[in-house]
Chain A
Amino acid sequence: MKTKKFLLTMLSLFLLLSTVLFGCSSSSTSESKGSEKQVTLDIFQFKVEFKDQFEQVAKQYENQNPGVKINITTVGGGEDYGVALKSKFASGEEPAIFNVGGPQDVADWEAKLADLSDTKAAAQALEGTLDGVKKNGQILGLPYNQEGYGLIYNKKIFAKAGINPENIKTYSDLENAVKKLEANKSSLGIDAVFAFPAKETWVTGLHLSNVFLAPEFNSNVVNAFNAKTVEFKYGNAMKKLVDLQNKYSVQPTVSLDYSKQVEELFSTGKVAMIQQGNWVYNSIADIDPELAEKNIGLLPIPVEGFKEDSIPVGVPMYWAVNKNKDQKVVAEAKKFLDWLYTSDEGKDIVLNKFKFIPAYKGYDSSKISDPLSKEIYNYAQNGKTIGWVFMGYPTGWGMDKLGVNIQKYVSNKMTWDQLIADSKKAWEEARNK
Chain B
Amino acid sequence: MRKQSLWYWLFLFPVLIALTVVVIIPFIFGLYYSFTNWNGIQSTEFVGFKHYIKLFQDGEFLHSIWFTTKFAIASVFFINFFGLILALIVTQKLKTSKIMRTIFFMPNLIGGLILGFIWQFIFIKVFAGIGDLLHVEGFRGWLSTTETGFWGLVILMSWQMAGYIMVIYIAYLENIPQELLEAAEIDGANSFQRFRHITFPLVAPAFTVSMFLTLSNSFKLYDQNLSLTGGGPYDSTQMVAMNIFKTAFSENQMAYAQSKAVIFFLIVTVISLTQVYFNKKREVEM
Interface of A with B (CB < 8 Å)?
2, 5-6, 9, 12-13, 16, 80, 82-83, 86, 90, 108, 111, 198-199, 251-255, 395-396, 399-400, 404-405, 407-408, 411, 413
**A82 to chain B: which residues have CB within 8 Å?**
249-250
Cβ–Cβ contact A255 & B252, under 8 A: no
Known: A83-B250, A86-B40, A399-B250. A405 touches B234 (CB 8 A): yes
Known: A6-B6, A9-B6, A395-B251. A252 touches B234 (CB 8 A): no
Residues of B within 8 A of A (CB): 3, 6-7, 10, 13-14, 40-41, 124, 141-145, 230, 232-235, 246, 249-252
Closest Cβ of chain B: how far from A262's Cβ, in Å?
16
B contact residues around A408 at 8 Å (CB): 233-234
A-B residue pairs in contact (CB < 8 Å), sample of 9: A5-B3, A6-B6, A80-B249, A198-B233, A253-B144, A255-B124, A255-B144, A407-B232, A408-B234
What is the CA–CA distance of A322 and B233 in the complex, to the nearest angstrom?
A: 38
Choice from A108, A252, A255, A396 contacting B251 with Cβ under 8 Å? A396
User: By the criterion CB–CB under 8 Å, are B232 and A254 in contact?
Assistant: yes
Main secondary structure of the interface of B (DSSP, over half): loop
Report A-chain residues with C-beta under 8 Å of the C-beta of B250: 80, 82-83, 395-396, 399-400
Determine the chain A residues whose CB is within 8 A of the CB of B246 once the complex forms: 396, 400
When A and B form their complex, which 5 residue pairs have the shortest distance between CB atoms, in order from nearest?
A: A252-B144, A407-B234, A254-B233, A255-B144, A396-B251
Residues of B within 8 A of A251 (CB): 141
- Distance (whole angstroms) from the CB of A270 to the closest CB of chain B: 14
Q: Which of B3, B7, B10, B144 has the most CB of A within 10 A?
A: B144
Q: A404-B235, A405-B234, A407-B234 are in contact. Are A395 and B252 (CB under 8 A)?
A: yes
Minimum CB distance partner of B37 in chain A: A433
> Do A411 and B10 touch (CB < 8 A)?
no
Minimum Cβ distance to chain A for residue B214 (Å): 27
Question: A221 to chain B: closest CB distance in Å?
Answer: 18
Given contacts A6-B6, A9-B10, A252-B144, contact A199 B252 (CB under 8 A): no
Query: How far does the Cβ of B104 sit from chain A's closest Cβ, in whole Å?
Result: 30
> In the bound complex, do residue B141 and residue A255 qualify as a contact, i.e. CB atoms below 8 Å apart?
yes
Give Cα A255–Cα B250 distance, bound, in whole angstroms.
21
Chain B residues near A9 (CB, 8 Å)? Answer: 6-7, 10
Given known A-B contacts A82-B249, A396-B251, A396-B252, A255 and B232 have beta carbons under 8 A apart: yes
Decide if A411 touches B124 in the complex (CB within 8 Å): no
A396–B252 Cα gap in the complex (Å)?
A: 8
B241 to chain A, nearest CB (A): 15
Contact A5:B6 (CB < 8 A) given known A108-B252, A255-B232, A407-B232: yes
Secondary structure call for the A interface: helix
User: Shortest beta-carbon distance, A220 to chain B, in Å?
Assistant: 23
What residues of B have a CB within 8 angstroms of the CB of A405 in the complex? 234
* Cα(A6)–Cα(B7), bound, Å: 9
Contact residues in B for A396 (Cβ distance below 8 Å) = 246, 250-252
Bound Cα distance A399, B230 (Å): 13
Q: Which residue of B lies closest to A90 (CB)?
A: B40
Provide the bound-state CA to CA distance between A255 and B237, in Å: 13
Asked if A12 and B10 sit within 8 Å, CB to CB, the answer is: yes
Residue in A closest to B235 when the chains form the complex, CB atoms: A404
> When chains A and B are docked, how far (Å) is the Cα of A252 from the Cα of B146?
13
Nearest CB on B from A191, distance (A): 12
A6 to chain B: closest CB distance in Å? 7
Q: In the complex, A185→B231 CA distance in Å?
A: 33
Q: How far is the CA of A213 from the CA of B195 in the complex (A)?
A: 67
Within 8 Å by CB of B233, from A83, A111, A407, lies A407
Instruction: A408 to B63: give the CA distance in the assembly, Å.
Output: 15
Inter-chain contact B232/A86, CB cutoff 8 Å: no
Nearest-neighbour CB distance to chain B for A242, whole angstroms, equals 14
- A395→B235 CA distance, assembly (Å): 17
Q: What residue of chain A has the Cβ atom nearest to residue B232's Cβ? A: A199
Say whether, besides A199-B232, A252-B141, A396-B251, A2 and B40 are in contact (CB < 8 Å). Answer: no
Given contacts A2-B3, A6-B6, 8 further A-B contacts (CB under 8 A): A252-B144, A254-B144, A255-B142, A255-B232, A395-B251, A400-B246, A408-B233, A408-B234
CB contacts (< 8 Å) of B41 on chain A: these are 111
The interface residues of chain B lying within 8 Å CB-to-CB of A12 are: 10
Structural contact, B234 and A254, CB atoms closer than 8 A: yes
- Within 8 Å CB of B230, what residues of A? 199
Cα–Cα distance between A254 and B141 once the two chains are bound (Å): 9
Whether the pair B13, A13 counts as a contact (CB closer than 8 A) is yes
Chain A residue numbers with a CB within 8 Å of B249 are: 80, 82-83, 86
B residues less than 8 Å from A108 (CB atoms): 252
B6 surroundings in chain A (CB, below 8 A)? 5-6, 9
Chain B residue at minimum C-beta to C-beta distance from A86: B40
B12 to chain A, nearest CB (A): 12
The residue on B at minimum CB distance from A414 is B234
Q: Which residue of B lies closest to A264 (CB)?
A: B125
Bound CA span A327–B14, Å: 41
- Least CB distance from B85 to A in Å reads 31
Contacts of B252 in A (CB 8 A): 108, 395-396
Chain B residues positioned under 8 Å from A404 (CB to CB): 234-235
CB distance from A416 to the nearest CB of B (A): 15
Which residue in chain B gives the minimum CB-CB distance to A252?
B144
CA distance A399 to B249 in the complex (A): 13
- Min CB gap A45→B, angstroms: 19
Which residue of B14, B246, B249 has the most chain A CB atoms within 10 A of its CB atom?
B249
Closest to A251 in B: B141
Q: Looking at the complex, which one of B144, B234, B251 makes contact with A413 (CB distance below 8 Å)? A: B234
Q: Which residues of A contact B232 (CB under 8 A)?
A: 199, 254-255, 407
A80 surroundings in chain B (CB, below 8 A): 249-250
Contacts of B142 in A (CB 8 A): 255
Tell me the nearest residue of chain B to A1, going by C-beta: B3
A199 contacts across to B, CB distance below 8 A: 230, 232-233
Minimum distance in angstroms from B273 CB to a CB of chain A? 32
Closest to A396 in B: B251
How distant is the Cα of A407 from the Cα of B231 in the complex, in angstroms? 12
Cβ of B48 to closest chain A Cβ, rounded Å: 17
Cα(A14)–Cα(B3), bound, Å: 19
In the complex, A399→B143 CA distance in Å? 19
Given the known A-B contacts A405-B234, A411-B233, are A16 and B251 also in contact in the complex, defined by CB atoms under 8 Å?
Answer: no
> CA of A353 to CA of B41 in the docked complex: distance in angstroms?
38
Chain A residues contacting B13 (CB-CB under 8 Å) are: 13
